Amino acid sequence: MRTAITHLRDARVPGFKKESACNARRKSASRYHPRSKMKHTDTFRAALLACALAPWAQAGTIATVAGTGMEGAGTDGPATASALGYITRLAADEQGRVYIADSTNGRVRRLDADGSITTVVSGLNLVEGLAVGGDKVYVATGYERRVLRFNLSDPAAPVYLLAATSRDASGLALSPGNTHLYSVSGGRMGIINLTNETRPEYLNMDELSGISFMAGLPDYLYIAERGGHKAWKSQIPGPGGLTSPSLIAGDGTQGFGGDGGPAAEAQLNEPADVVADSVGNLYIADLGNHRVRRIDGLGLIETIAGTGDALSTPGTPVGDGGPATAAIVSDPNGLLAVGDHTLYVAENTGHRVRRITFDPPAAPTQVQATILNDRAIVAWEHDGDKATGFTAAAYTGGSTPGLLCHAPAGERHCTIDGLAGGSHYGFRVLARNGADVSPAAWSAGYPTPTPLTEADVDLDGTGAAQARVSIGKSPASTCSTVRGLEFTATPPGAPASAPLGVLRFKAEDCNAGSHITVRIDYPPGSLAGLYPWKYGPRMAGGQPEWFRWGTVHGDTVYYTVSNDGIGDSAPNDASTIEDPHAMLPLAALPPAPGPGGAVQAVPALSAWGVALLSALAALLGLRRRG
């Protein structure tokens, strides 16, 4: 099956357009948010729900795990029966327990695996930032504008760390190893060395909000720029300060749009938090859009929770037990990713914590690409039955994909057109299962060939049937001339007759390390039952032989040849690449008689061998007669 090939801008999922029903302004009566100064409305719910149920957004189950949906100061006990007030942040300890910034109640509460909730810190004013490391809880307070450290063994004796600069947008994050505490507030970010509690200021932005880490090699710091409607990442600051952050989402326009496309080209609305899961997916609390957005391993963004509407009357959550994309998510302010299967969402005006569980498919493996001129055939392997489709992307640098192709569940390749000549591309592939995505699998980088020649070549010498042959060279290659481009009869010694003939040519004036890529477009339907075979050495310095070589995609065959390397039938001519190639009705060479199926040659003796054998026979005859 041949898949559609499109440029990324034409490869969006339904509903991608920036101006669509999904982005329609809500015009009904609004209510005023006492702290974030945001407006919330109730109309167009059906249209937003329809947009949320696009083909790429149909998985991920949502459920309430804490809070009643009504603002209040609940008691300890069952978490879903205990009221919360304007939740701002979430954190987790090493045991996987979830900590909740119960903001207007001035408390930090802990959600245990048995579904119970416990107050661990109380008596604060507006808990805005929260981080947990070891037996310590770090809190940024609003009205007091302070960052405090609490030891859970004695929470009544907090340690003052620093003064925050703003109560409206604070976030805290601990570095891997809990050696440094990062604080964002009022458009600035500070870092506290927890051994000496110094706080140099590294970064100024419009208005910083959420901040989080992804541990790994290298470690990354993720920042939500709420006032600028963007999200950023940077490597962990070292002695020289914060490295220049790179944009990961948001074009700076306040609004909603861009699902299915590059995250850097999407529109966000006051992003409040950004976190990473264990396999590299990023999640953004798109507070003003009442959605949670995900950036997958290809750099593409999509909505994974929320319809875009907020509840007009707090109470029973809309959508529990069903797809997260069909649920109402009111002002998602804080996020917490646990592994690659679970995401917790703090609903600020919904006064509840929701949990989204995913069922991602396995990641593809063995990603390879065959490039010829402006086209790449991307192929991969995949085990498992969860995938409903695959997406491949081409990259020329950075993290923003330029070109995409898609394949259904039964396919293991797709084609990307539009590659730029002379560029160097890498490829990534991920598996999809509704809204769930696998980690992205990477290929090595590939240079795009420079066109060398292209011609229609007779298959039978009569002109009745032709194949289009396109030959390109690697960017560093000096190959300048192609001679003898033709299809010939099957040569003696071939493992089978080639019904379409054997393609031959010589590329001349080639330097060491030159690579030739070949594309053959055969007549429609002519490749049924045929397989690509090559004559030449299987490896540099090897003996010429016939072996399977090439990729078939529809009626097109792609393969590569290296000067004095794989497939070059002129290994003794350092400046020439010679290339016999044929489509044969063989999937593999048939085994020949002999031990292990190896071909057994008939011995051929030289004259000296014949004389020696005769002398030996005569000697044996004399002994027998005696």
DSSP track, 153-190: TEEEEEEEEEE-S-SSSEEEEEPTTS-EEEEEETTEEE
For the chain, the average pLDDT equals 78
pLDDT at 8 over 60: no
Give the C-alpha separation, 110 to 92, whole Å.
Answer: 9
Report if residue 39 sits inside a domain.
Answer: no
Domain count, the chain: 3
C-alpha dihedral (30, 34, 35, 36), degrees to nearest 10: 0
Question: Residue 409: which CATH number?
Answer: 2.60.40.10
Q: Which of 398, 425, 442 is the last residue of a domain?
A: 442
Q: Are 417 and 378 in contact (CB under 8 A)?
A: no
217, 247: one domain: yes
Question: Is residue 113 one of the residues assigned to a domain?
Answer: yes
Residue 407 located in a structural domain: yes
Dihedral, 123, 126, 129, 130 alpha carbons, nearest 10? 30
93 & 155 share domain: yes
Residue 609 identity = G
CB of 388 within 8 A of CB of 465?
Answer: no
pLDDT tens across 120-138, in order?
A: 999 998 898 999 998 999 9
* Residue 35: per-residue pLDDT: 34
Quote the CA–CA distance of 415 and 432 in Å, as a whole number: 18
**How many CB atoms are closer than 10 A to CB 323?**
20
User: Residue 177: inside a domain, yes or no?
Assistant: yes
CB atoms within 10 A of CB 305: 31
User: Taking 50 as the threshold, does the pLDDT of residue 418 lie above it?
Assistant: yes
Asked if residue 536 belongs to a domain, the reply is yes
Give the mean model confidence (pLDDT) for residues 373-394.
86
Of the candidate ranges 34-38, 108-112, 196-200, 516-520, the one whose mean pLDDT is the lowest? 34-38
Q: 528 and 381 share a domain? A: no
pLDDT per residue over 165-195, tens digit each? 444 446 888 888 888 888 877 667 777 888 7
pLDDT of residue 104: 94
User: Are residue 420 and residue 556 in the same domain, yes or no?
Assistant: no
384 and 474 co-located in one domain: no
Q: Residue with structure tokens 């302010």?
A: 333
Res. 604: pLDDT tops 50: no
- CATH number for the domain harbouring residue 94: 2.120.10.30
Q: Residue 80 sits in which domain range?
A: 73-283
Domain boundary among the residues 393, 410, 442 is at 442
- Residue 531 inside a domain? The answer is yes
In this predicted structure, the answer to whether residue 268 has a pLDDT above a threshold of 50 is yes
Q: Phi and psi dihedrals of 338, rounded to 5?
A: -120, 110
Residue identified by tokens 């099956």 is: 1
Q: Which of 67-76, 191-200, 406-415, 612-621 has the highest mean pLDDT?
A: 67-76
* Last residue within a domain, chosen from 442, 476, 506: 442
Q: Residue 71, class by beta-carbon neighbours within 10 Å (0-12 exposed, 13-18 middle, 19+ buried)?
A: middle
pLDDT digits (tens, 9 = 90+) for 281-300: 999 999 999 999 999 989 99
Query: Do residues 143 and 279 both lie within one domain?
Result: yes
Residue 583 CA to its chain's centroid (Å): 35
28 pLDDT above the threshold of 60: no
Q: Region 307-313: what's the mean pLDDT?
A: 83
Distance CA 394, CA 74 (A): 51
In this predicted structure, the answer to whether residue 51 has a pLDDT above a threshold of 50 is no
Residues 188 and 170 in one domain: yes
Q: Is residue 139 part of a domain?
A: yes
| Digit-coded pLDDT (tens) for 333-356 | 999 998 778 999 999 999 999 999
Four-CA torsion 156, 157, 163, 168, nearest 10 degrees: -10
Torsion of CA 36, 42, 44, 50, to 10 degrees: 80
- Residues 122, 98: one domain? yes
- Residue 589 CB-density burial (10 A; 0-12 exposed, 13-18 middle, 19+ buried): middle
**Out of 96-100, 327-331, 585-589, least confident range:** 585-589
**In a domain? residue 202:** yes
User: With contact defined as beta carbons under 8 Å apart, do 117 and 79 qualify?
Assistant: yes
Is residue 139 domain-shared with residue 249, that is, in the same domain?
Answer: yes
Q: Give the CA dihedral 457, 459, 462, 464, nearest 10 degrees.
A: -90
Are residues 230 and 96 part of one domain? yes
Q: Are 362 and 346 in contact (CB under 8 A)?
A: no
E runs forming strands in 230-270: 230-235, 246-249
Tokens 């099957």 sit on residue: 490
Q: Which of 203-207, 390-394, 422-426 has the highest mean pLDDT?
A: 390-394
CB atoms within 10 A of CB 524: 8
The contacts of residue 603 (CB under 8 Å, 6+ apart) are none
For residue 61, the SS3 value is strand
| Same-domain check for residues 410 and 510 | no
**Is residue 520 over pLDDT 80?**
yes
HSE-CB of 47 using CA atoms within 13 angstroms: 11
Query: Residue 597: left if φ>0, alpha if ψ -120 to 50, beta else—which one?
Result: left
Place of tokens 């005859």: 621
d(CA 378, CA 177): 39
pLDDT at 169: 45
Residue 173 pLDDT: 87
Task: Kindly state whether residues 98 and 247 are assigned to the same domain.
Answer: yes
**Taking Cα atoms as reference points, which of 447, 526, 531 lies closest to residue 495?**
531
**Is residue 183 a contact partner of residue 192, using CB atoms and an 8 Å limit?**
yes
